[in-house]
A and B are shown apart, each in its own frame.
Chain A
Amino acid sequence: MKTFTICLAILILFPFVWLLLTSLKTVDEYYTSPAPLFPSDPQWSRFWTVLVDLEFYTPMLNSILIAACSVVISLTMNSFIGYGMARFKFKGKNIVFILILVTMFLPAQVTSIPKFLLYYKLGWLDTYLPIIIPMFFGSSTGILYISQFIRTVPKEMDEAAMVDGCGHLRIWSQIVIPQIVPALVLSGINAFLSSWKSSMGPLIYLRSPDLYTVPLALLYFQSPESNSNLMLMTGVLISMIPTLIVFIIGQVIMDKGATTADLK
């Protein structure tokens, strides 16, 4: 079984390596058949050309900005709503719970046309508002995940704080949140990735190239020279760097978070 896994890992890695090799080839090498396996003269400068000369840094910064907003907003809101779901009993809670589940499998694209019209009427098209504002309403997976986690936090601490005169807002922000750091980190990584990867929203709502996010920039990639295919491949490679960095940061925090999470 292990052999199978190793084979699969090699298979998965293969296009990445092939992509790297391809993007380093010279134009002539790319258009010869049969193509040489390794580039004879690696074109490392192409990374710089794509990033700076073709202004690939603009969509990168845009995407990072949106993803950062997404992490901050969705962590705050999901833990806020999750606290409500985990710590209160109220009439209709079961219905809310079922509806949260329903939105998990509801194809978001079904509502894309009415939403487009709504944002059009609000004058929000070609801004980041249609992408950022919905984050304030929480996401179902995030809420479910975080509220499950909050339920494992002992209630005694809440109650002690309440005796000391803390309101729910303070209990949420100062007692509960420090104890769910691992869940928040995981949820935050997810929020970053799903924002970084999301394409349909930006595709529908954004028009001007200055506002493009990375997926759009890749889709509408244009190069003044004839080697645009090679440039695109380089762009694809560049677009992978931030996610790898986030993944590594996340793992480091996870290792630390496990110890800082227990509040004494």
Chain B
Amino acid sequence: MIKKKKRNKQNLGWLFVSPWVFGFVSLTVLPLLYSLYLSFHDWNMFSDPKFVGLKNFELLFDKTSIYGDAFYAALSNNLIYVCVAAVINFTVGITIAWSIFRPSKLNSTLRTIIYMPSMIISFALSMMMSPIFSSNEFSLINQIRQAMGLDLQNWLGTRGQGVWVLCILCFWGVGGAMMTYISGMKNIDKSVYEAAKLDGAANMRLLVSICLPLLAPMIVYQVIMTFVGGLQAFDNVMGLATICGGNGTANMGTDNSLATLVFYLYNLGFKDFKMGMASALGWITFAITGVFGIALLVFVQKTGYYSIDGD
């Protein structure tokens, strides 16, 4: 009798989880496998897929081909972007969270202002930068440069420079990290702060010796997620490319100045209809993300940041 009840409970558990499992198999596992299959084929969606072995990967890694050129531009842009994003999210996020986590009217206003850009459409945020960064003589940057007697500058359309505009946009994206850190700081027991204050610890000392160690798991989690999210940068760059090229879907800035891995994947797959090569690029992106993913898994298992074993 007891055994039967337990059995029943097992099945019920699966029943509740089954929608997710179905979605996972049909929309993640099978597409992932099919995408692996496609990555070894040359296919434009209309003819039959033709097996080409590793050719897609070779073309992407070959610096002299146009594909390789764009791929390396995308890769270097993306790596610069994730590193800068992680640093900004951590340093700026912690600093501002620390300065405004105590409840007050001014603090909550500041919180709302800093969080606001995280709520708006990424295209909109990037396009908003158009009166500031665009290459024509009417943009703010170029107005200032003209006033100083310098020539016009096309940051977005120069390879090696476009990505830094993307990095500047990170300041408009720290809101999420800030909110997480604020909730963490609020959860730290007040008596801990007070005890340290009694011992004569200054504000900075409180942050470094008390707050940071207590928040360490949250910070690690947040940094890993920034890396993962940054590797998937897509709509913010596409928005910037719109400013740069006039027609945003046509290209990735001038001379791939605004290429990122996923943006390139989108262009390869849905503009050039090179489904095989896009799938190959997808798997390369997946592999790079996987490194961070494994770090995340190990971390979660070790610290129990998320846990499921109650009672």
Q: Which of B30-38, B56-64, B157-165 lies at the interface with chain A?
A: B30-38
Report B-chain residues with C-beta under 8 Å of the C-beta of A71. none
Q: Is the CB–CB distance between A247 and B96 below 8 Å?
A: no
CA separation between A260 and B100, bound complex, in Å? 28
Q: Is the CB–CB distance between B308 and A97 below 8 Å?
A: yes
CA separation between A106 and B29, bound complex, in Å? 11
Q: Which of A8, A109, A200: most chain B CB closer than 10 A?
A: A109
Report A-chain residues with C-beta under 8 Å of the C-beta of B124. 215, 218, 236, 239-240
Q: Is A261 an interface residue (CB 8 A)?
A: no
The answer to whether A33 and B138 touch (CB under 8 A), given A96-B17, A219-B249, is: yes
Within 8 A of A (CB), among B253-311: 262, 265-266, 269-270, 275, 278-279, 282-283, 285-286, 289, 292-293, 296-297, 300, 306, 308, 310-311
Secondary structure of the B contact surface, majority rule: helix
Residues 106-118 of A, flagged 1 when their CB comes within 8 A of B and 0 if not, give: 1111111111111
The distance from the CB of B133 to the nearest CB of chain A, in whole angstroms, is: 10
Interface size on A, residues (CB 8 A): 90
Residues 137-156 of B, flagged 1 when their CB comes within 8 A of A and 0 if not, give: 11010010011000000000
Q: Which of B67-75, B79-87, B109-117, B193-201 lies at the interface with chain A?
A: B109-117
CA separation between A107 and B20, bound complex, in Å? 17
The answer to whether A4 and B129 touch (CB under 8 A), given A81-B20, A83-B16, is: no
Report A-chain residues with C-beta under 8 Å of the C-beta of B119. 193, 243-244, 246-247
Q: Is the CB–CB distance between A219 and B248 below 8 Å?
A: yes
Report A-chain residues with C-beta under 8 Å of the C-beta of B96. 1, 4-5, 8
Within 8 A of B (CB), among A1-47: 1-2, 4-6, 8-9, 11-13, 15-16, 18-19, 22, 30-31, 33-35
Report A-chain residues with C-beta under 8 Å of the C-beta of B249. 219
Report B-chain residues with C-beta under 8 Å of the C-beta of A33. 137-138, 143, 146
Q: Is B1 an interface residue (CB 8 A)?
A: no
Q: Is B13 an interface residue (CB 8 A)?
A: yes
Q: Is B128 an interface residue (CB 8 A)?
A: yes
Residues 183-214 of A, flagged 1 when their CB comes within 8 A of B and 0 if not, give: 00000000001001101100110000000001
CA separation between A88 and B245, bound complex, in Å? 54
Report A-chain residues with C-beta under 8 Å of the C-beta of B17. 81, 84-85, 90, 93, 96
A-B contact count (CB 8 A): 260
CA separation between A138 and B27, bound complex, in Å? 12
Q: Is A49 an interface residue (CB 8 A)?
A: no
Q: Is A128 an interface residue (CB 8 A)?
A: no
Q: Is the CB–CB distance between B95 and A110 below 8 Å?
A: no
Q: Which single member of B235, B279, B289 contacts A106 (CB below 8 Å)?
A: B289
Q: Is the CB–CB distance between B300 and A101 below 8 Å?
A: yes
The answer to whether A9 and B132 touch (CB under 8 A), given A33-B146, A93-B13, A109-B265, is: no
Report B-chain residues with C-beta under 8 Å of the C-beta of A203. 266, 270
Q: Is the CB–CB distance between A18 and B297 below 8 Å?
A: no
Q: Which of B17, B140, B234, B266: most chain A CB closer than 10 A?
A: B17
Q: Is the CB–CB distance between B31 and A105 below 8 Å?
A: no
Closest to A240 in B: B120
CA separation between A89 and B7, bound complex, in Å? 10
Q: Is the CB–CB distance between B12 and A138 below 8 Å?
A: no
Closest to B293 in A: A105
The distance from the CB of A230 to the nearest CB of chain B, in whole angstroms, is: 10
Q: Is A94 an interface residue (CB 8 A)?
A: yes
Report B-chain residues with C-beta under 8 Å of the C-beta of A5. 95-96, 99-100, 110, 114
The distance from the CB of A56 to the nearest CB of chain B, in whole angstroms, is: 13
Q: Is B238 an interface residue (CB 8 A)?
A: yes
Q: Is the CB–CB distance between B297 and A101 below 8 Å?
A: yes
Pick the 8 closest A-B CB pairs, nearest first: A137-B23, A84-B16, A88-B13, A90-B13, A114-B31, A111-B31, A110-B282, A1-B99
| Given A107-B286, A239-B121, 19 further pairs, Cβ under 8 A | A4-B99, A12-B117, A15-B129, A15-B132, A16-B128, A19-B131, A30-B138, A81-B17, A90-B17, A105-B224, A106-B289, A109-B265, A116-B270, A200-B235, A204-B266, A218-B127, A219-B123, A236-B128, A240-B120
Question: Which residue numbers of A lie inside 8 Å of B, CB to CB?
Answer: 1-2, 4-6, 8-9, 11-13, 15-16, 18-19, 22, 30-31, 33-35, 77, 80-81, 83-94, 96-118, 134, 136-138, 143-144, 147-148, 151, 155, 168, 193, 196-197, 199-200, 203-204, 214-215, 218-219, 229, 232-233, 236, 239-240, 243-244, 246-247
Q: List 27 A-B contacts (CB under 8 A).
A: A5-B100, A8-B92, A8-B114, A9-B110, A9-B114, A11-B171, A84-B15, A88-B13, A88-B16, A89-B9, A98-B297, A107-B282, A107-B289, A109-B232, A109-B265, A110-B265, A111-B32, A113-B35, A114-B31, A137-B19, A137-B20, A137-B27, A138-B19, A214-B121, A215-B121, A219-B248, A240-B120
